[in-house]
Amino acid sequence: MNSNAIVRRALVARNIAARPLRSSANPVRRYSTEEPDPQLNGYPQLPWKSRQTLPPLGWQDSLTRRNFGDPLHEQEEVLSMWGPDTPPIDPAVALRQFTVAALGFLAFGFFVKEIVTQPPPAARREYPYDGLVRELGGLEENKVRLKHAFATCTC
């Protein structure tokens, strides 16, 4: 190996070692421009952004994606790496995709019920005396089947 390659490797290694970790241009450090919350009493009002959406490399504490000395968000337990997972896609897009899938299943079921299913090959049984109301005790709840129920049924 020649001396230029050794010098070049040493310079690259020194540059990598001397490179600072995340600077103050960190997106988490940008403070909100909204009206300050009076309950914070001068504490910086940080934006509502989960630490799970931040890049994984370049932090002093890579486990929690924080630099030492960074102010914590007032809702840190929700926005930290250990909080609830952030959805991988927008909830509105997920709702639209779920609606399309559910309508697809309903359309397939309607297609099978109305078009593919054949009518029964035999005639349905018909009972005399208004569906055997008198023979079953005379109550309306005991009707077996009404003749006109199938003529008006839309199912």
pTM (global) more than 0.75? no
Q: Determine the Cα angle at 96 with ends 155 and 94, to 5°.
A: 125
Token digits of residue 110: 């309607």
The pLDDT profile of the chain, 155 residues, written as one tens digit per residue, is: 566 666 566 555 554 444 445 544 444 445 556 677 788 888 888 888 999 999 999 999 999 999 999 999 989 999 999 988 888 899 999 999 999 999 999 999 999 999 998 888 888 877 776 667 667 666 666 555 555 545 555 55
Q: How far apart are CA 63 and CA 106, in angstroms?
A: 45
Give φ, ψ of 136 to 5 degrees.
-100, 10
* Cα separation, 152 vs 53, whole angstroms: 58
